[in-house]
Amino acid sequence: MSRWKKIWQGFKNLWVYYRGWKWLIFLGMSLALMMSTYLVIIAKTTSVETLQDGLMNQTTVYDVYDEKAGTLWAQKGTYVTLDQISPQMRETLVSTEDKRFYEHNGFDTIGIGRAFVSLLLKRDLSGGGGSTITQQLTKNAFLTLDQTFQRKFKELFLALEVEKHYTKDEILEMYLNNAYFGNGVWGVEDASMKYFGHSAVYLDWNESMVLTATLNGPSIFNPIDDYEVAIERRNAIAEYLASEGIISQEDSAYIQSSAIELYDAYIQTEQGHEYPSYFDAVINEAVSLTNIPESDLLSKGYQIYTNLEPSAQQMLNASYDNNSWIFGDDGTGTPLVQSASAIVDPDTGGVMAVYGGRGDYNYRGFNRATDMYRSPGSTIKPLAIYVSALEAGYNIHSAVPDVVQSYGSNNYTPENYDLYTDPSGEVELYYALAQSKNTSAVYLMNELGINRSVQKLKQFGINVPQADQTLTLALGALQTGVTPVQLASAYATFANEGVRIESYFIRRIEDSSGKVVYNNEKPARHMVMTKNVAADMTSMMLDSYSGYGTGYGAGPDWGQIAGKTGSTEVSEGNMETRDKWMVGYTPDFVIVTWVGLDEIGEESLDDLMPSGMGTLFNIQTTNLMSVSEQTPFDVTYASQMNETTNILQTTSWSDDWQEAFSENLDLAREKAGELWQSTKEVTVDLINKGSEWLETIDLPF
């Protein structure tokens, strides 16, 4: 090829190269123009005059019947004007969150650039960061919850429009009045009252820094939930303000050496519901199982569908509110006898109702129904010992020793509660359970093996740490403890014919557009025992509340209920009662009630409430019977079955094996059906997501 041809070919290649780039540049500019036009149209057509209304979007909670049960929050706090907020608070917020707030027109190009660099360095595809106060206000009022580039651009254009309709001071005022500060508190005025006991106009530099730090993580940075972290965040802000010349180095050092003086003078306004313990548990479960921040959960218009059974919950509340005399007090004083209850639907595993504790209610405070772990006492015996005994070949009339004897190298010697009439020498299995014989329980665990009990408890959803894997486990010596909800979930397995479903509050969550963001409509099911074993266990536990059992008189005034009672001692060698438990179930419900003291002091539970546990449980179960379907048991009391009858009803090991195989096969078929349905749903979801991805280009055609 001649030199001129080479030059000509090179020129053509260069032309093709740059022409291609020109087309790419043209196409990119065209797309940018169309997207900008689209976003401008969105901004212009959005009614920013209704900004305040957009900030008041409530989340609604529905009961098991899909009827509205209430809202998570009725209002967003006490509104104050900007001149009712201290200058220190305003200065701290603006300087740390958006220091060019009074200079930009809705978005900060420098801040966006910094966030973009951070995005590239951290490879964070969310596109988060760089938001101004105006953008944050806009996001809370108008936009969806996903943090993507598409939403970020909408946020930016809407912020420009908001800045045209409101002054900077009006924007700052709305932001401070609608910000979430943790512990169920919205707005700077209520936050100031909650954490410091005075109005926002009196906030000093120290307090202002604490509140500003809380905004970046209301659930984890507030001084009530994590004082040390709040100190660290405050100190970081103090150093920054000093470096910016807003406060002196001396003031910064003084603030960093100061404590955070907390004082709660916040008076909670009327809530949007009448079930505080249940709604708190719903919030906790939603926050722990999803990526939804608490502030968004409370204010973004979610629809949360739960297992709440209103009649059961109202009955449970009334059993405490109307019967303080049972506890020997008026619901006040120190120490206060505490109590908690949980009701579970055995067919679904859904939590129907909970009561979290007596005394003053605190938003998302300590919920004893879900958060309190206590040793279960003798309520552990059916779960850890008697199921395994039946599976090992015992029947309800099998003879077991009731003799005081020592075990192991440490000579562990269990005794029965009633030392005057016990031991009896030998008793039938059902009687040992009904009378809660400690001697028989430890004997059976020793014979069957501790590990067998540990593994069976694991099937019931109760993990036993290595340190507790001793014979004392037979009497409920479980240091990690159980919660009332957890215990109710375990006992629901008996009522559900041997199949366990882990208990839960939320069935599904939808966002404000109706999109399902969390779904637990079909929880996992696990076979723990055969139907025959479950039936024999129920037959034996019916006697717990009959004339043979430790719960005699505590059951309902009419109808049958099976279950178990239990109690724990303060410590080894201290026979005073620490906890009292009662568990009852029918085919329709499982109820667990605990009574005890939060802390053991000079006065014990025996001193403060020598009786009354049975009365409380009698009221609860009687009322619960009246609002349930009253489905009868298909078994009778073990004490009313003679040995011959029981032997005829007791199946051989081959029958049990066939039954277990059949039930596991049924569960496998159910799982396969669910897997097939899930596969179809995932496939459809992928197709829909592909369509949604194309829509996110946001072209105006």
Question: What is the CATH classification number for the domain harbouring 139?
Answer: 1.10.3810.10
In a domain, 511, yes or no: yes
* Strand extents, DSSP E, 206-321: 303-306
Nearest Cα neighbor of 38 from 147, 191, 157, 214 is 157
- Cα 659 to Cα 531: distance, rounded to the nearest angstrom: 8
SS3 375: coil
Reply yes or no on whether the pLDDT at 652 is more than 60.
no
- Is 364 in a helix, a strand, or coil? coil
- Residues 526 and 94: their CA atoms lie apart, in Å, by 54
- For residue 109, give the H/E element and its range: helix 109-122
Distance of CA 623 to the CA centre of its chain: 27
Residue 409 in any domain: the answer is: yes
Q: What size, in residues, is the chain? A: 701
What pLDDT digit, counting tens, does each position of 238-281 carry? 999 999 999 999 999 999 999 999 999 887 765 667 899 999 99
Regarding whether 154 and 10 lie in a shared domain, the answer is: no
Quick one: residue 245, left, alpha or beta (phi over 0 = left, psi -120 to 50 = alpha)?
left
The model's confidence at residue 681, banded by pLDDT at 50, 70 and 90, is low
Q: Which residue bears the tokens 């305040």?
A: 52
- Full residue range of the structural domain in which residue 204 is found: 79-256
Residues 38 and 120 in one domain: no
Assigned domain for 309 exists: no
* Per-residue pLDDT at 52 exceeds 50: yes
User: Measured between alpha carbons, how far is residue 204 from residues 242, 259, 335, 605 in Å?
Assistant: 15, 13, 36, 45
Residue 127, pLDDT score: 39
**Three-class SS string for 456-523?**
HHHHCCCCCCHHHCCHHHHHCCCCCCECHHHHHHHHHHHHCCCEEECCECEEEEECCCCCEEEECCCC
Spatial distance between the Cα atoms of 675 and 681, rounded to a whole number of angstroms: 10
Residue at 21 is within a domain: yes
On whether both 453 and 413 belong to a single domain, the answer is yes
Q: For residue 382, give Cα distances in angstroms to 457, 542, 584.
A: 10, 12, 13
Same domain, 416 and 553: yes
Mean pLDDT (the chain) is 83
Give the Cα separation of 88 and 666 in Å (integer): 67
Residue 483 has pLDDT above 60, yes or no: yes
Total domains, the chain: 4
Lowest mean pLDDT segment, chosen from 15-29, 102-116, 166-180: 15-29
Residue 544: which CATH number? 3.40.710.10
Is the same domain home to 472 and 594? yes
CB half-sphere exposure, 382, CA atoms < 13 A: 37
| Co-location of 575 and 458 in the same domain | yes
The answer for 361, left when phi > 0, alpha when psi is -120 to 50, beta otherwise, is: beta
Q: What is the pLDDT of residue 644?
A: 57
Question: Are residues 33 and 112 both part of a single domain?
Answer: no
Question: Is 74 contained in some domain?
Answer: no
Helices (H), 557-652: 605-608, 613-627, 643-649
Backbone angles phi, psi at 482, to 5 degrees: -135, 160
All residues at 6 or more sequence positions from 90 whose CB lies less than 8 Å from its CB, including other chains? 82, 172, 176
Residue 354 is inside which H or E element, if any? Answer: strand 351-355
Predicted structure pTM score: 0.75
What single-letter DSSP state applies at residue 632? P
- In this structure, the answer to whether residues 41 and 165 fall within a common structural domain is no
- Cis ω on the peptide bond leading into residue 423 (within 30° of 0)? yes
The helix/strand/coil state of 238 is: helix
Q: Token match 């000579």: residue?
A: 411
* Cα–Cα distances in angstroms (integers) from residue 47 to residues 44, 137, 142, 632, in the given order: 8, 14, 9, 59
pLDDT at 126 over 80: no
For 687, counting Cβ atoms within 10 Å of its Cβ (0-12 exposed, 13-18 middle, 19+ buried), the class is exposed
The answer to whether residues 684 and 596 belong to one domain is no
Q: Do residues 17 and 148 both lie within one domain?
A: no
Whether 378 sits among the annotated catalytic residues: the reply is: yes
Rounded CA separation 261/555 (Å):
49
> For residue 128, what pLDDT is reported?
41
Of 233, 256, 279, the domain-final residue: 256
- 270 within some domain: no
Mean pLDDT within 577-583? 94
In a domain, 344, yes or no: no
pLDDT at 294 over 90: no
Q: Which residue has the higher pLDDT, 50 or 141?
A: 141
Q: Quick one: 510 and 623 in the same domain?
A: yes
According to the per-residue pLDDT averaged within each range, which of 57-66, 368-377, 599-608 is highest?
A: 368-377
Largest CA distance in the chain: 120
Catalytic residue among 91, 97, 569, 663: 97
Answer whether residue 70 is part of any domain. Answer: no
Q: Which residues of 17-47 are buried (b: 16+ CB within 10 A; e: fewer)?
A: eeeeeeeeeeeeeeeeeebeebbeebbeebe
| Cα–Cα distance for residue pair 565/549, rounded to 1 Å | 9
End-to-end CA distance of the chain: 50
3 state DSSP class of 425: strand
Q: Which residue has the tokens 């470096």?
A: 243
The rounded distance, in Å, linking the Cα atoms of 350 and 306 is 8
Compute CA 39 distance to the chain's CA centroid, rounded to the nearest angstrom: 38
Tokens standing for 96?
């740390």
Structure-block tokens of residue 591: 């109820």
Q: Give the pLDDT score at 271.
A: 63
- Catalytic site includes residue 424: no
- Could you tell me the pLDDT band of residue 700, with boundaries at 50, 70 and 90? very low
Active-site pick, 131, 199, 299, 378: 378
Total Cβ atoms within 10 A of residue 475: 23
Same domain, 687 and 538: no
Q: Which of 14-18, 232-236, 636-640 has the lowest mean pLDDT?
A: 14-18
The tokens of 586 are what? Answer: 């029918």
* 411 token code pair: 């000579």
Does position 548 have pLDDT exceeding 90, yes or no? no
d(CA 208, CA 219): 17
